[in-house]
């Protein structure tokens, strides 16, 4: 039976190397703030999304006005590290072209929201001058490669961090359309010089994500990625990586064929050459075997389950020409960022700033601007949506300290809040069913008294919320997960572990705030009365509700 390719497959193959009619959409279509329908798909491959302010939809509809279109730009920053000069440029670009907001994402990069169509080119050009780009930050290609975000605590960490850059470069699409459309503004590249043996004309069936974890830290949630590398270090030597395949989180309400899945470890590789070869060929297997008919079934996780883990591994080993070594042992014992000051092996200082859900507030933005002007640190984004000022010498530390003080940056923040994560959701995300980033801070404030009541205020229980089941804030790997089902309603998930190694499960459907707080009062009470010594809330909930071994 012949299968029908999804519409997006046609758009990709007929796009002339992801160009489509983007130049015309930008230059000629002055009657609309958006781009042509097929170009909406193509522009994603260049790191941009068409959005509209959902808070203003009703008001505009009443006035019979078109949606208030704008664009979100997501940068590609492998490993999440930029220089002070790049921060200054980003700050200025956000003021000049965007709405002024800067958002740190769950994949160690930055998003700017609210750019108008005519501002796209000047913005991309300005980023280009700062040696930053948004190529492949979205679309059916490999996305921003993430790595544990305290890379400089040993020399090995720097070595590992460099892999993020190498992998990102290896997997970049060959088309020069990004430069042509957004920088040069005319067709100047020969298609024949853009042959792309990896992506061909069809690209991948779906988005693709890679993370590198450096145990004992799993701040990247390595098992939630299509490919996860777990760094193996012994006696201060980088031995190689365990490779996990087929992680991914999104589900669709009411579609039982969709599910969250943690990556399966298939083996160990001991050299850079083997690591890069293995990753590259995992993408070619996905390219050739992934589902191109139903986009709800097209992530690598479904390809792995269709072929079986062993079947996928066999195909992969055929392509790479070597067999994987036996998996090396490792363990994770932390996932949160290390807030405040920390020193690395070279005695340089790092300062981790808590940025609630990655939304840098105006005071923090001004503080960071002042730090960047000093040119004494780099800027590192963490997979937990926080920001680290890195590589500060002992002589310069006091300069940052006085700015922290004068901008009143350091606040008392509860352990729960520091362990919280939320996706963007409303008002910009078109897929949001409920609030997340704008609401979780308020919910945490209402949960904090309950934690005090049970003397749990120092407990770093992970709490994550998303506005829909796509899972952008990785709520499926939290101890308390809230997944939007509709306005002011969330599926309440329980039983995940603290370090991202066990998925949580649905505990109660469609809960309102008062139901959530009532449930939590009971659950936290049960937890303090019945937990085993040192048992975390997630482990307790899993044992209580989802294991045969109930208390
Ligand atoms: Fe995501 C789509 C925001 C990390 C799974 N995600 C979106 C879009 C672009 C909505 C859209 O398609 O129009 C959201 C834009 C909102 C906005 O207004 O900015 C969006 N995702 C985000 C970010 C910004 C959330 C955040 O608050 O930090 C994260 C950006 C990461 C980055 O820098 O690249 C973000 N998204 C994730 C993650 C977590 C991760 O990768 O570690 C996931 C779950 C892991 C996974 O991929 O399985 C995730 N986003 C999705 C999905 C579901 C994919 C699927 O397998 O079906 C969508 C929808 C889609 O692709 O169709 C989506
Ligand atoms: Fe939007 Fe859903 Fe992702 Fe949140 S989880 S940003 S609501 S797509």
Is the minimum distance from the CB of 89 to ligand 2 under 6 angstroms?
Answer: no
366 alpha carbon – ligand 1 mean position (Å): 28
Q: What is the pLDDT of residue 102?
A: 97
Contacting residues for 329 by C-beta, under 8 A, at least 6 apart = none
Per-residue buried b or exposed e for 42-51, using 16+ beta carbons within 10 Å of the residue's own CB? bbbbbbbbbb
Annotated catalytic residue 468 = yes
DSSP string, 79-137: GGEE-HHHHHHHHHHHHHTS-S--EE-TTS-EEEEEE-GGGHHHHHHHHHHTT-B-TTS
Q: What is the pLDDT of residue 152?
A: 61
Closest CA to 417 of 443, 393, 436, 396: 443
- Hey, which bits of 318-446 come out as E strands? 340-343, 349-353, 378-381, 387-392, 420-422
Q: Which fold has domain 1-140+175-188?
A: Alpha-Beta Plaits (3.30.70)
The residue ranges of the chain whose pLDDT is under 50 are 1, 549-551
Q: What is the pLDDT of residue 550?
A: 42
Please list the residue range(s) of the chain that carry CATH number 3.30.413.10: 144-173+204-335, 416-546
Please list the residue range(s) of the chain that carry CATH number 3.90.480.10: 340-411
- Say whether 184 sits in a helix, a strand or coil: helix
Using N-to-C axis directions, what is the helix angle for 272-289 and 155-170, rounded to 10°?
A: 40
Is the minimum distance from the CB of 495 to ligand 2 under 6 angstroms?
Answer: no
Q: What is the pLDDT of residue 151?
A: 58
Q: Which of 76, 117, 207, 299 is catalytic?
A: 207
39 alpha carbon – ligand 1 mean position (Å): 19
Q: Considering only CA atoms, which residue is closest to atom 3 of ligand 2?
A: 472
Q: Considering only CA atoms, which residue is closest to atom 38 of ligand 1?
A: 472
Query: How many CB atoms are located within 10 Å of the residue 82 CB?
Result: 22
pLDDT, tens only, 272-326? 999 999 999 999 999 999 999 999 999 999 999 999 999 999 999 999 999 999 9
- Among all bound ligands, the one having the nearest atom to the CA of 80 is 1
Annotated catalytic residue 472 = yes
Q: What is the pLDDT of residue 187?
A: 75
Shortest-distance atom of ligand 1 to CA 296 = 57
pLDDT, tens only, 416-442? 999 999 999 999 999 999 999 999 999
Q: What is the pLDDT of residue 1?
A: 46
Ligand 2 pocket mutation, candidates 359, 424, 477, criterion most atoms within 8 A of CB: 424
Annotated catalytic residue 138 = no
DSSP 357: G
Please list the residue range(s) of the chain that carry CATH number 3.30.70.2500: 1-140+175-188
What are the φ/ψ torsions at residue 334 (nearest 5 degrees)? -155, 155
pLDDT, tens only, 115-162? 999 999 999 999 999 999 999 999 999 999 999 997 566 788 889 999
Is the minimum distance from the CB of 208 to ligand 1 under 6 angstroms?
Answer: no
Q: What is the pLDDT of residue 392?
A: 96
Judge whether 451 and 219 are in contact, CB under 8 Å. Answer: no
Tell me the C-alpha distance between 109 and 127, whole Å. Answer: 14
Shortest-distance atom of ligand 2 to CA 473 = 5
Instruction: Kindly report the CATH number that applies to the domain delimited by 340-411.
Output: 3.90.480.10
Is the minimum distance from the CB of 429 to ligand 1 under 6 angstroms?
Answer: yes
Is the minimum distance from the CB of 430 to ligand 1 under 6 angstroms?
Answer: yes
Structure tokens at 88: 């200054």
427 cis-preceded (ω within 30 degrees of 0): yes
479 alpha carbon – ligand 2 mean position (Å): 19
Is the minimum distance from the CB of 470 to ligand 1 under 6 angstroms?
Answer: yes
- Alpha helices (H) in 171-265, listed in sequence order: 177-179
Q: Considering only CA atoms, which residue is closest to atom 56 of ligand 1?
A: 250
Does domain 416-546 correspond to CATH entry 3.30.413.10? yes
Model pTM score: 0.97
Is the minimum distance from the CB of 248 to ligand 1 under 6 angstroms?
Answer: yes
Closest CA to 336 of 261, 263, 421, 404: 421
DSSP 219: T
Q: Which fold has domain 144-173+204-335?
A: Sulfite Reductase Hemoprotein; domain 1 (3.30.413)
Query: Please, is 235 exposed, middle or buried when counting C-beta atoms within 10 Å of its C-beta (0-12, 13-18, 19+)?
Result: exposed
């Amino acid at each position: 039976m012949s299968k029908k390719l999804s519409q997006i497959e046609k758009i990709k193959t007929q796009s002339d190397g992801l160009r489509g009619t983007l130049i015309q959409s930008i230059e000629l279509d002055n009657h609309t703030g958006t781009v042509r329908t097929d170009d909406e798909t193509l522009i994603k491959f260049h790191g941009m999304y068409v959005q509209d302010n959902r808070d203003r939809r009703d008001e505009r509809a009443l006035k019979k006005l078109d949606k208030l279109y704008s664009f979100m730009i997501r940068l590609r920053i492998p490993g999440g590290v930029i220089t002070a000069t790049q921060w200054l440029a980003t700050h200025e670009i956000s003021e000049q072209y965007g709405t002024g907001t800067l958002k740190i994402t769950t994949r160690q990069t930055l998003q700017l929201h609210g750019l108008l169509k005519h501002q796209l080119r000047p913005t991309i050009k300005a980023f280009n001058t700062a040696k930053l780009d948004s190529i492949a930050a979205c679309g059916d290609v490999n996305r921003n490669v993430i790595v544990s975000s305290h890379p400089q605590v040993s020399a090995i960490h720097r070595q590992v961090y460099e892999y993020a850059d190498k992998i990102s470069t290896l997997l970049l699409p060959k088309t020069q359309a990004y430069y042509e459309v957004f920088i040069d503004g005319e067709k100047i590249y020969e298609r024949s010089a853009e042959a792309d043996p990896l992506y061909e004309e069809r690209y991948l069936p779906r988005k693709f994500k890679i993370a590198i974890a450096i145990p004992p830290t799993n701040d990247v949630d390595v098992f939630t990625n299509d490919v996860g590398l777990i760094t193996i270090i012994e006696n201060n030597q980088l031995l190689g990586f365990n490779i996990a395949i087929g992680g991914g989180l999104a589900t669709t309400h009411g579609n039982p064929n969709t599910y969250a899945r943690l990556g399966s470890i298939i083996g160990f590789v001991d050299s850079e050459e083997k690591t890069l070869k293995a990753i590259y060929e995992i993408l070619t297997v996905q390219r050739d075997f992934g589902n191109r008919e139903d986009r709800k079934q097209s992530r690598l996780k479904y390809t792995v389950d269709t072929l079986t883990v062993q079947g996928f591994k066999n195909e992969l080993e055929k392509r790479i020409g070597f067999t994987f070594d036996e998996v090396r042992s490792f363990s994770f014992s932390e996932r949160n960022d290390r807030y405040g000051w920390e020193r690395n092996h070279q005695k340089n200082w790092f300062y981790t700033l808590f940025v609630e859900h990655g939304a840098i507030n105006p005071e923090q933005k001004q503080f960071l601007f002042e730090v960047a002007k000093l040119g004494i640190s780099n800027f590192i984004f963490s997979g937990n949506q926080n920001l680290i000022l890195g590589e500060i010498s002992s002589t310069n530390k006091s300069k940052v300290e006085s700015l922290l003080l004068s901008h009143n940056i350091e606040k008392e923040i509860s352990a729960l809040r520091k362990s919280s994560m939320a996706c963007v959701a409303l008002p910009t995300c078109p897929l949001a069913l409920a609030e997340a980033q704008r609401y979780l801070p308020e919910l945490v404030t209402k949960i904090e008294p309950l934690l005090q009541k049970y003397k749990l205020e120092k407990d770093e229980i992970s709490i994550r919320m998303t506005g829909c089941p796509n899972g952008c804030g990785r709520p499926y790997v939290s101890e308390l997960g809230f997944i939007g089902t509709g306005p002011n309603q969330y599926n309440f998930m329980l039983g995940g572990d603290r370090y991202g190694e066990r998925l949580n499960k649905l505990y109660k459907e469609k809960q309102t705030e008062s139901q959530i707080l009532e449930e939590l009062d009971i659950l936290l009470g049960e937890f303090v009365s019945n937990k085993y010594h040192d048992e975390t809330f997630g482990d307790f909930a899993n044992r209580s509700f989802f294991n045969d071994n109930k208390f």
